[in-house]
Structure 1
Amino acid sequence: MSNLSEIVDSLEHRIGALLNKHEKLKKANAELEEELTVLKSKQLQFENEIEVWVDKCNSLKLANSMLGSDQHKRETKLKINALVREIDQCITQLSE
């Protein structure tokens, strides 16, 4: 009989330890999920910021080339040609 009570006590102790560990893991998981949410938000913010800076960089390159900078003349000519083609397409569509 005492052997049975020892087994039951041992099981109770193990179950208690498992429940305790389960609660700790649930808390850690919740903290990690919250951290993940914050990090995803920051990532989106940084991606948007990068996009803004890339646009600014491209605008500056275009402005430099228009000011006579030899460094980006080819890119500017290509961009102007693309814009002219786009305008021509719009005119064609309007005349149809």
Structure 2
Amino acid sequence: MSNLTEIVDSLESSIGKLLARHEDLSSAKLQLEKEIDDLKVQKLQFEEEIAMWTEKCNSLKLANSLLGSDQHKRETKLKINALIREIDQCIVQLSE
């Protein structure tokens, strides 16, 4: 009978350890899920910031080219030609 008691005690001990481990893992999982959510928000903020800086960089390139910078003359000419074509299309639509 004492052998059966030892087995039951060992089983209770093992179950207690498993439950404690399960609780630890559950709390760690919740913490990691929160960290993932925080990182997703941070990623979106960084992507928005990158887009903003990219737009500012393009604006500065255009401004430099309009000011006579030799680096971006070709880009400026292409942009001006595209704007002229767009204006011409608007004029054609208005005249119809």
Letter of the 1:49 partner, please give it.
E
SS of equivalent residue, structure 1 residue 70:
coil
Matched, 1:2 2:2: yes
Query: Structure 1 residues 10 and 94, CA, compared in 2 at 3 Å: closer, same or farther?
Result: farther
Q: List aligned pairs for 1:7-26, cutoff 5 A.
A: 7-26=7-26
Q: CA deviation at 1:86?
A: 2.2
Letter of the 2:63 partner, please give it.
A
Q: Matched residues, percent identical?
A: 72
Unpaired runs of 5+ residues, structure 2, are none
Question: What TM-score results when the alignment is normalised by the length of structure 1?
Answer: 0.90
Query: Structure 1 residues 93 and 4, CA, compared in 2 at 3 Å: closer, same or farther?
Result: farther
Aligned residues between the structures: 96
RMSD: 1.3
Which digits, 9 at most, give the CA deviation of each residue in 1:19-57, with x for residues without a partner?
000000011111111111111111111111111110000
> Which residue of 2 is the match for residue 81 of structure 1?
81
Query: Structure 1 residues 93 and 5, CA, compared in 2 at 3 Å: closer, same or farther?
Result: farther
Runs of 4+ off more than 4 Å: none
Letter of the 2:58 partner, please give it.
N
> Which residue of 2 is the match for residue 70 of structure 1?
70
